[in-house]
Every structure is written in structure tokens, then in C-alpha cells.
């Protein structure tokens, strides 16, 4: 078994771990990054589809307000390009497909007004939540209800509720009845606004990274002094007041401190000796990973563009809930991205891949016509099946968890520090949040008790 002596061990070579390592190294700290997979990037992963062309099977979009990642991309010699969004969007509900423009489908005036009002209410409430300490906010009582409970009280029409359900599924990969209303408000606050979360142009789906987002992690890893220790799943962490021993398959890393950047559910599967305080273990029992199956259907050309469609659509009938034009910047080949989210992803995840592929083809055909029926190629990733993610886009809290266990999300325990997109107070759950959390954990180590970055 190889043994490494270092100042800080970082577990996980996703954006959080690599950002922590980079920030620590910049201050002269010796760091070893330990990663279970045979690659860096975690929940970002590139899939090559021909010479110089790449699709993202994990996190892909960046947008305004995500200042850290937008600065980092050019710093690493990378570029972004705009998400294709020209033309009309489509919505399918009760077997009927309608066209619309903008973010919210104009299905009927009453529903539209109700959705508008609900979104304004949510914005107003979210502004009152402190993203650093949501459990202490004056709205902490919202942790007693799900978003569904809140929606049933404030939104009367079924159409408006369907639209809000679609929005929840798209952002959290979960159902309105799964999520604490306080968590929803925290998340909106952490991103800045609900519009930013939902919008394509000018919002979180604004742009993509040329060459794929995994390149960000690859470049960060290349810049580190020590190579990332790949294929080394961490199983145990032995710790005392000022020393840790990280035990991975085939590797032992002795360090003064450790940064654990795994989603809480996976952090809870590591064995800690001595055992962690009950509040921290309870937290890892409560944060649930969302469910997403990301699929891409590849066609010779983006034929929907010629028909005046943007490729963006949403379906209340499902099982695919959202689609996007995910073609490379030159529009060749044509790629339709389709997501199964929340319950639909859990259900479809149990089906054979060929059946799932047919479900996607059927949905795309209803939306975009017969040309969508037979793609040249179909790609998919069932994130809940991935041993080192167990779901995505990220973790969320059901009712009761923020107020009972929330303070254990970021609070370090002796030499153990917590990072990862789930622990971010800005853009929680996003690549930007992962970077913020990694830098915050590094700052904790560099200046204990200092101001967060």
C-alpha cells in the first residue's frame, strides 16, 4: 500500500476538491487529492462525438452571476458560447403541443397570472432567507412544509400547478412534494433569483463551455503540484484533534487536515473513527440526491431550427420533462438533449436502456415531428446508478432537515472540513457553488475563523 504524507488531503477531484486544492497550493500548502474514479471532473464529464466535438453528460451550463466560474474559464484558456435559443419553444400538456416564446409557457391567461404571482411571492420570501444560516431565518417555519403544500395553498389552477411542478423538476430533479419549502427558498436565494435559475438567455442555462465542462477540472488538475490519486475510493478516515489518516483502496494519506467534497450522502458512507457527532451523521441521513437521466439524441442536422423551433420544450405529460438544442456551436450534428427528472427518472431508471431510448424518441417525435423518431445515435447517463454520485443534479433537504440538522452542513469537525456544491451558500448545487465551497474550505484551513471567500 502506498503511503503519502501531506499537509492537507482533499477527497474528491470534482470542481470543489480541485478548487480547494488550487487555493491551498497558492498559499504554499502541500495537498494530495484522492479520487475514486479513473478521471477528474466528478459530476462533469465529456463525451466525445467525433473530431473536436464533445457533449457534456453532466453539468454543462454557466450563466450571469456565476462570477467565479466565469472568471476561471478564461483563466484556464477556455471559452464559452451561447446556448442555442432562437425560435419558438414548445409545451405539451394533455396531449396537446403549443408554441410559446420566453421562459413561461403562455398556456392560459389565468394560469399565467397565477404563476407570475407565485414566482413573485417566492422571490420576496427567498430574499428573507440568509443563505449562510437558513435555519435561523424568520422564515424557518417554512421548513415544516413541502413546496407542494405551499403551492396548494397559494396556486388554485391545475395548469399553473403543472407549470410550477415542471419548474421544480427542472431545477431540483425532484417533485414539489419531496422538497422542504425552506430549502427551495434557500436555493433561490443562493442563486440570487428564481428568474436566474429558470432562464436560458441571461440565466443559469445561458452558455456552455467549448470543449466541455470537464476540461475545467482537467486544467485545474494539471496545474496542481501533485498528480491526483485516481482510482482510490476512500473508505475510512481516522482522526484526532490535529491529525488525520485517510484510508483509500491501495493508498494511505497522512495529513494535518482533510477536506471532504463528496455529496453528503456519499460522505456519510465513509467510516470515521472516532464516529462523527450524531448531528453530522444525521445530516448525511437527511440530504437526498435528486434523480436525473440525461439523454442526447444525435441527428445529421438540427432540423427543428428550420421549422422555427429553438429545441427547448417542456412536457407535463412526460416522461421527458425538458428538452434543449444541445448541438455543437457550428450546429453539426444536431443534438436534442432530453431530461428525465425526479420521479420520471426514478421510474425510467428501472427500465432497460432500449425501452428508455424508445420513450425519448416517442416524446421527441410528439414535440418535433417524425424526423425526431430515428436519431443516428443515442447517449444517456443514469446518474442515480453512478456509484460515485448516486444521483444529481445535487442533494436537497426534505422538510425538517434544515432546522434540525442544517448547521452540521458546513461546520468543520476537528481537522475535517466539508465542501462540495451542496455546501455552497452561493449557487448551491451548481458548478459555481462547487467552486465557492472548495475555496471556502481552503480559507477555513488557511485562516481558521476567517471570512469566507
Ligand X SMILES: Cc1cc2nc3c(=O)[nH]c(=O)nc-3n(C[C@H](O)[C@H](O)[C@H](O)COP(=O)(O)OP(=O)(O)OC[C@H]3O[C@@H](n4cnc5c(N)ncnc54)[C@H](O)[C@@H]3O)c2cc1C
- In the complex, the residues that contact ligand X under the rule CB under 6 A are 11-17, 34-37, 42-44, 58-61, 233-234, 261-263, 266, 270, 292, 294, 383, 388-389, 392-394, 420-421, 429-432, 434
CB of 434 to ligand X, least distance (A): 3
**Minimal distance, residue 218 CB to ligand X, in Å:** 12
Cell of residue 291, nine digits:
434523480
Q: Which of 325, 333, 82, 323 is nearest to 209 (CA)?
A: 82
The overall longest dimension of the chain from CA atoms, in Å, is 67
Compute how many other C-beta atoms are within 10 angstroms of the C-beta atom of residue 70. 17
Q: Residue 377 has which C-alpha cell?
A: 445515435
Q: What 8-state DSSP symbol labels residue 317?
A: S
Residue 13 or 160 having the CB closest to ligand X: 13
Q: For the CB of residue 337, give the shortest distance to ligand X in the complex, in Å.
A: 10
H helix intervals, 288-430: 303-306, 343-349, 353-368, 401-405
d(CA 223, CA 387): 27
Write down the least CB distance from residue 324 to ligand X, Å.
10
Residue 134 gets which letter from DSSP? G
Closest separation between CB of residue 445 and ligand X, Å?
Answer: 17
Sequence-separated (6 or more) residues with CB below 8 Å from residue 103:
195, 198, 199, 200, 203
User: What span, in angstroms and rounded, lies between the C-alpha atoms of 389 and 262?
Assistant: 8
Residue closer to ligand X by CB (options 63, 399) is 63
Alpha-carbon gap, residue 160 to 166, rounded angstroms? 10
Cell of 364: 421527441
The residue among 271 and 332 lying less far from ligand X, judged by its C-beta, is 271
Angstrom distances, CA of residue 237 to CA of 234, 244, 410 = 8, 7, 18
Cell of 316: 407535463
* Residue with Cβ nearer ligand X (66 or 137): 66
Pairing of strands 377-382, 292-299: antiparallel
CB-CB contact of 200 with 103 (8 Å)? yes
**Smallest gap from residue 12 Cβ to ligand X (A):** 3
> Nearest approach, Cβ of 413 to ligand X (angstroms)?
17
Of 123 and 380, the one with the shorter C-beta distance to ligand X is 380
Query: What is the closest distance, in whole angstroms, from the C-beta atom of residue 216 to ligand X in the complex?
Result: 9
Q: How near is the Cβ of 334 to ligand X at its closest, in Å?
A: 20
Nearer to ligand X, 14 or 311 (CB): 14
CA-to-CA dists, residue 198 to 70, 188, 288, 440, angstroms: 19, 10, 22, 26
| Joined grid coordinates for residue 362 | 416517442
Between residues 189 and 294, which has the closer beta carbon with respect to ligand X? Answer: 294
Which CB sits closer to ligand X, 37 or 189?
37
Phi/psi-derived region of residue 39, left when phi > 0, alpha when psi is between -120 and 50, beta in every other case: beta
The smaller minimum CB distance to ligand X, of residues 43 and 93, is found at: 43
Amino acid at each position: 500500500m502506498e503511503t503519502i504524507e501531506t499537509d492537507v488531503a482533499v477527497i474528491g477531484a470534482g470542481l470543489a476538491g480541485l478548487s480547494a486544492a488550487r487555493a491551498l497550493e497558492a498559499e504554499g500548502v502541500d495537498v494530495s487529492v484522492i479520487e475514486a474514479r479513473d478521471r477528474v471532473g466528478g459530476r462533469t464529464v465529456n463525451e466525445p462525438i467525433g473530431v473536436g466535438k464533445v457533449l457534456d453528460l453532466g453539468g454543462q451550463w454557466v450563466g450571469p452571476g456565476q462570477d467565479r466560474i466565469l472568471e476561471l474559464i478564461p483563466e484556464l484558456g477556455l471559452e464559452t458560447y451561447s446556448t442555442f435559443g432562437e425560435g419558438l419553444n414548445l409545451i405539451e400538456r394533455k396531449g396537446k403541443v403549443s408554441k410559446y416564446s420566453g421562459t413561461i409557457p403562455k398556456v392560459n391567461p389565468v394560469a399565467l397570472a397565477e404563476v407570475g404571482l407565485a414566482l413573485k411571492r417566492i422571490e420576496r420570501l427567498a430574499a428573507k432567507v440568509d443563505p449562510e444560516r437558513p435555519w435561523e431565518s424568520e422564515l424557518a417555519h417554512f421548513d415544516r412544509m413541502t413546496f407542494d403544500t405551499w403551492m396548494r395553498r397559494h396556486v388554485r389552477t391545475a395548469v399553473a400547478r403543472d407549470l410550477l411542478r415542471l419548474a421544480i423538476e427542472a431545477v431540483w430533479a425532484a417533485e414539489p412534494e419531496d422538497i422542504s419549502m425552506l430549502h427551495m427558498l434557500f436555493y433561490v436565494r443562493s442563486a440570487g433569483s428564481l428568474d436566474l435559475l429558470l432562464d436560458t438567455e441571461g440565466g443559469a442555462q445561458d452558455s456552455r463551455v467549448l470543449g466541455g465542462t470537464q476540461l475545467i477540472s482537467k486544467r485545474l488538475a494539471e496545474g496542481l503540484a501533485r498528480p491526483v490519486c485516481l482510482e482510490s475510493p476512500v473508505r475510512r478516515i481516522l482522526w484526532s484533534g490535529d491529525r488525520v489518516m485517510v484510508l483509500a483502496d491501495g493508498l494511505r494519506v497522512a495529513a494535518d487536515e482533510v477536506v471532504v467534497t463528496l455529496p453528503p450522502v456519499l460522505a456519510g458512507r465513509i467510516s470515521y473513527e472516532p464516529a462523527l457527532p450524531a448531528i453530522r451523521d444525521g445530516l448525511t441521513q437527511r440530504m437526498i440526491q435528486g434523480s436525473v437521466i440525461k439523454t442526447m439524441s444525435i441527428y445529421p442536422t438540427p432540423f427543428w431550427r428550420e421549422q422555427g423551433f429553438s429545441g427547448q420544450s417542456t412536457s407535463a405529460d412526460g416522461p421527458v420533462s425538458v428538452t434543449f438544442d444541445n448541438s455543437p456551436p457550428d450546429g453539426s450534428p444536431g443534438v436534442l438533449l432530453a431530461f428525465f427528472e425526479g420521479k420520471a427518472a426514478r421510474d425510467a431508471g428501472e427500465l432497460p436502456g432500449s425501452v428508455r431510448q424508445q420513450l425519448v424518441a416517442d416524446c421527441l417525435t410528439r414535440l418535433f415531428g417524425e424526423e425526431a423518431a430515428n436519431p443516428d445515435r443515442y447517449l444517456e447517463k443514469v446518474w442515480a446508478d453512478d456509484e460515485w454520485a448516486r444521483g444529481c443534479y445535487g442533494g436537497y433537504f426534505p422538510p425538517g432537515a434544515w432546522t434540525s440538522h442544517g448547521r452540521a452542513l458546513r461546520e468543520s469537525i476537528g481537522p475535517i472540513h466539508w465542501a462540495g456544491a451542496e455546501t455552497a451558500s452561493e449557487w448551491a448545487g451548481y458548478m459555481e457553488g462547487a467552486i465557492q465551497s472548495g475555496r471556502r474550505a481552503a480559507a477555513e484551513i488557511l485562516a481558521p475563523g476567517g471570512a469566507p471567500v
